[in-house]
Amino acid sequence: MVLRGFVFIFILFILSCSEEIASNEVAVRKDQVSVEVGKDVEILYSDSAIVRIKITAPLMYNYTENEQKQTFPQGIRIEFFDANAVSQSVLTAKNATRKLSEKLVIIRDSIEWHSVKQENLFTEELNWDEANNSIFTKKFVKITRPGEKMFGYDFKSNQDFTKWELSTGSGWVKSDALTKEIE
């Protein structure tokens, strides 16, 4: 009698464990499918077999269900190349989100863009419209050239920063005329 009770409890124990394991396996598989994780990521955009943009990031989450997007929570580096595949500028930021269905990249936090022409841009948010090859923000922007600085809002540019405008800017100011308080 005791032996039958022991066998019955043992069988129940085995069956309950196997059901729990099966349900955990299904949950893990589903999570792995909906979010892909990439480390030391490199993404290349090319035009006529010439690399035009290279994106690198230490970490990328690729969400494959519902709102398909890619996030770069540990920072992003975007390098822009000319038609001869020569680097023209580099943009860095601490965070970015790429919304695939909207073809929109939202770049945030400590954004710095530096060109080979010694032009620089600093802001807290930029939006990259991949469909229209444009970059824009309504946030405050600081642009510098050797010996000059410009401040303003409502920045618009083509995606390689060769043509840009500020709708509400303060104009070019010689750097030596600015006080430490403005910087």
Architecture of domain 34-177: Sandwich (2.60)
Do residues 58 and 47 touch, judged by C-beta distance below 8 A? Answer: no
pLDDT tens for the chain, 183 residues long, are 555 555 555 555 555 554 444 444 545 455 455 888 999 999 888 888 888 889 999 999 999 888 889 999 999 999 988 888 899 999 999 999 999 889 999 999 999 999 998 999 999 999 999 888 899 999 999 999 888 888 889 899 887 777 888 887 666 566 554 444 444
DSSP 177: G
Residue 106, classed as helix, strand or coil, is strand
Read off φ and ψ for residue 10, nearest 5 degrees: -60, -45
Single-letter residue type at 178:
L
**What does the pLDDT read at residue 109?**
94
**What does the pLDDT read at residue 179?**
42
**What does the pLDDT read at residue 168?**
76
**What does the pLDDT read at residue 98?**
92
**What does the pLDDT read at residue 124?**
96
| Measured distance CA(20)–CA(13) in Å, rounded | 11
* Domain limits, the chain: 34-177
Written as six digits, the tokens of 34 are 């909906």
The DSSP secondary structure of 137-164, one letter per residue, reads ESS-EEEEETTEEEEEEEEEEETTSSSE
| Measured distance CA(109)–CA(163) in Å, rounded | 23
What are residue 110's DSSP bridge partners?
A: none
End-to-end Cα separation, the chain, in angstroms: 87
**What does the pLDDT read at residue 95?**
96
Q: How many CA atoms lie within 13 A of 57 on its CB side?
A: 25
How far is C-alpha 63 from the chain's CA centre?
13
| Measured distance CA(157)–CA(147) in Å, rounded | 22
Q: What is the pTM of this model?
A: 0.71
| Measured distance CA(52)–CA(63) in Å, rounded | 25
